[in-house]
Structure 1
Amino acid sequence: MKAAAWAGLAGLLAWGWLLTQRGGFWRIEAPAPVPEPEIWPEVAAVIPARDEAEGIGATVASLLSSDYPGRLTLVVVDDHSSDGTAALARAAAEAIGAGDRLTVLAAPDLPPGWAGKMWALHHGLAAARAARPEAGFMLLTDADISHAPGELRQVVARALAERLDLASRMVRLSTASWWERAVIPAFVFFFRMLYPFAWVRDPARPTAAAAGGYVLIRPQALDWIAGVDAIRGAVIDDCSLAGVVKRAGGRVRIDLSWDTTSSRTYWGPSGLWRMIARSAYAQLNHSPLLLAGTVLAMTLVFIAPPLLALSGSLFGLLAWAAMTAAYWPTVRRFGLAPAWAAALPAVALFYLGATVQSGVSWHRGRGGVWKGRVQDQRPEGKR
């Protein structure tokens, strides 16, 4: 058998394994409904915000207008913004008559060893818990999230019904532009491949994941792990938080949300490239060997099948068909045409390029740049 045929067979076998042995990651299923509680716990929300003038007002207004039966308060931590983020947050709360439920804090200067978001959350959580010690849940959310009226109600009800310690929602990301339609559904697909949601829910499995834009967590779970100090320098802070909570014995769940959305948009490829490159090498533990393995695996599983199919390989064609079938539920959930499912190999090549760039940038001391900060700095003397 020729090398091309072996490569096609390997890709086909890989997709056979992924479709049957990887927790059904490719399925898009709505979670079963749960009963609502008789008594709704208080929720204290925290938003870290750095130069978020474009969206902070809508985020604050949508969250404080939530259809949540219990008490809901919000702390916004202004992380050295230069665009009036704090004033806009206050104005949005006042405009809907919720100024008494909003506190705006200024984050202290960032110390060594802390990621900016974690430092802001650290102070926001301390303030929220001091002001509202009776809160039953803390909601950690981002400054670019448009909260659906019933989202918090649904998440809290599920957390109570299933005795969850951490419940996260992956909010719907924008697909307004052509580039977003190409890249964003694949981001969700790859995330679910790395962290099958069924495995995250399974207490017997170590797999843990969360989406940083929307994380509901019990204060007791924060106490178990000594707060966000446990992940103070994490670049992939959401999955790191879920990981330490699950390792401490907590119950973790993540679901997709299609009503709560991100207001952050990317109209060209550069922003999406940076979004991937910012944390891709951290995901690989800054390992050149894991990076090389990722290049080999993605080439074999995603990129080679259509090339082999176009050269007449039946194995390559079948692997491409399996890939397309696996990706189709995600593409359909985003309301896109079926042709996007067949284009996954090209999108995978884009992701692979950004991942390689992530590794190169880290070794040059410029990894994980976000809003002017290097959040994934290579330690001195490490290569």
Structure 2
Amino acid sequence: MDVLLWITALSGAAWVYLALAHGGFWRTDTRLAPRGSRTPPAEPPSVAVVVPARDEADIIGAALPTLLAQKYPGSARVILVDDGSSDGTGELARTLGDAPGVRLPLTVTTPGPPPSGWTGKLWAVRHGVELAGDAEFLLLTDADIAHAPDSLARLVAEAADERLDLVSVMARLRVATGWERVIVPAFVYFFGKLFPFRRVNRHKSRTAAAAGGCVLVRRTSLAAAGGIDAIRDAVIDDVSLGTLVKRGGGRIRLVLADPPRRHATEWWPVHVDSVRPYPALADLWRMVSRSAFAQLRHSWLLLVGTVFGLALVYLAAPVALVVGAIAGAWPLALLGLAVWALMTATYVPMVRYYGRPAYEALLLPFAATLYLGMTVDSAIRHARGRGAAWKGRTYPAPESSRDAPGR
């Protein structure tokens, strides 16, 4: 009991630090400026929207039309890069580009198979960036991301007003199924814990990241930092891109998408939304495990430390509460309850951001246990030679340290 008491006390000390001194990672109010509060540039800069897509025929019909219908006052175009799809993604995209109500012109192109040393997505992005020509800004967005009609205009206004080189929005993921409600808020919460948004947004801080679903970047800043070639083998390409631009001297900003409006009835997304469903635990498991070991820089030592760290921070308090209550060791039980309450309090804002009741924040230890399993599974897959698998491709550990956390 004494050992468990000390372990729980150490967990409590960790949570006091995390709650008070870890960049306010648990807050959910880091957003773009409200609609209408930014002054649009007198001469709107030109923008090329680059969308890498591989076998996305079942998703792209809900996302691409929102890009083609953007209300942008300047010159803008959409470039969809069909990354070797076998399901007719490119043909469907061309059909959508010819549909009524399209505001932005669409180019559909295919780069061919990626060369050795490149991930397929980044090879496709590089091809799209090349076709963008001299566009002043590039919006790099995934094929499953739907945008509100003013999304592009808001992003550009934010970058222009604040003289930013990169603006990235963490898209709102779906929370329609039971497993999505358990895993998705925790996914964004853990991301914010690794890369506290406020630290990312401080120019002098070393912490850097971006959210790959929606990244607006100045073309010249990207080129000056080394271009897409500099991160060509990165599995966690969004963090690598944010790190690349910031270390190149660029000013970056990472924000959360706007939360849903109450009583909203329009079909269009509120801001930047992912339309990809993850109906089963297996779908969410694959989403996380394909890159979890890369986040640890493929280090077995970091894996061991992460497992022990997750167990200490997230599991010690519930275990202390249960064991203490059963054994009648009330000081232990009360300490476990206090630490669990503090942990839960830091998670409530994210749960509420996703429109869920606050009591679901009590599930954080359960979600952390699942993430622990996903991380271990990611390492095992790597050891078996399956690495990061996505859309029929498997990537080994990169030769460089491009997937190192952006710190």
User: TM-score per shorter chain, which class?
Assistant: over 0.9
Q: CA deviation at 1:52?
A: 0.4
Tell me how far apart the structure 1 counterparts of residues 293 and 2 of structure 2 sit (CA, whole Å).
34
State the partner residue of 1:376.
396
Q: CA deviation at 1:223?
A: 1.2
Q: CA deviation at 1:375?
A: 2.2
Return the match for 1:125 from 115, 122, 129.
Answer: 129
The DSSP-based 3-state class of the residue aligned with 2:7 is helix
The DSSP-based 3-state class of the residue aligned with 2:257 is strand
Tell me how far apart the structure 2 counterparts of residues 187 and 143 of structure 1 sit (CA, whole Å).
20
State the partner residue of 2:356.
336
Q: CA deviation at 1:57?
A: 2.5
Return the match for 2:60 from 31, 56, 59.
Answer: 56
Please list, as runs of the form range in 1=range in 2, the aligned pairs for 1:1-383 lying within 5 A after superposition: 2-31=2-31, 32-33=33-34, 34-36=37-39, 37-98=41-102, 101-129=105-133, 133=134, 135-258=135-258, 259-312=271-324, 313=332, 314-377=334-397
CA contact (8 A) 1:93 1:99 kept: no
Distance 1:241 1:378, change over 3 A: closer
Tell me how far apart the structure 1 counterparts of residues 186 and 392 of structure 2 sit (CA, whole Å).
27
The DSSP-based 3-state class of the residue aligned with 2:256 is strand
Letter paired with 1:214: C
The DSSP-based 3-state class of the residue aligned with 1:229 is helix
Q: CA deviation at 1:164?
A: 0.6
Q: CA deviation at 1:284?
A: 0.4
Q: CA deviation at 1:65?
A: 0.6
CA contact (8 A) 2:294 2:397 kept: no
Tell me how far apart the structure 2 counterparts of residues 243 and 115 of structure 1 sit (CA, whole Å).
18
Gaps of 5+ in 2: 259-270, 325-331, 400-407
How many residue pairs get aligned? The number is 375
CA contact (8 A) 1:46 1:124 kept: yes
Q: CA deviation at 1:97?
A: 5.0
Q: CA deviation at 1:194?
A: 0.4
Percentage of matched positions with identical amino acids: 49
The DSSP-based 3-state class of the residue aligned with 2:128 is helix
Q: CA deviation at 1:302?
A: 0.5
CA contact (8 A) 1:159 1:167 kept: yes
Q: CA deviation at 1:98?
A: 3.6
Tell me how far apart the structure 2 counterparts of residues 92 and 50 of structure 1 sit (CA, whole Å).
16
CA deviation digits over 1:200-257, x for unaligned, max 9? 0111111011011100000111111221000000000000011011011000111011
Tell me how far apart the structure 2 counterparts of residues 377 and 40 of structure 1 sit (CA, whole Å).
41
The two structures have a TM-score, normalised by structure 2, of 0.89
The DSSP-based 3-state class of the residue aligned with 1:215 is strand
Q: CA deviation at 1:30?
A: 5.0
Distance 1:3 1:100, change over 3 A: closer
Letter paired with 2:317: P
Distance 1:94 1:378, change over 3 A: closer
State the partner residue of 2:405.
none
Q: CA deviation at 1:38?
A: 2.3
Distance 1:35 1:151, change over 3 A: same
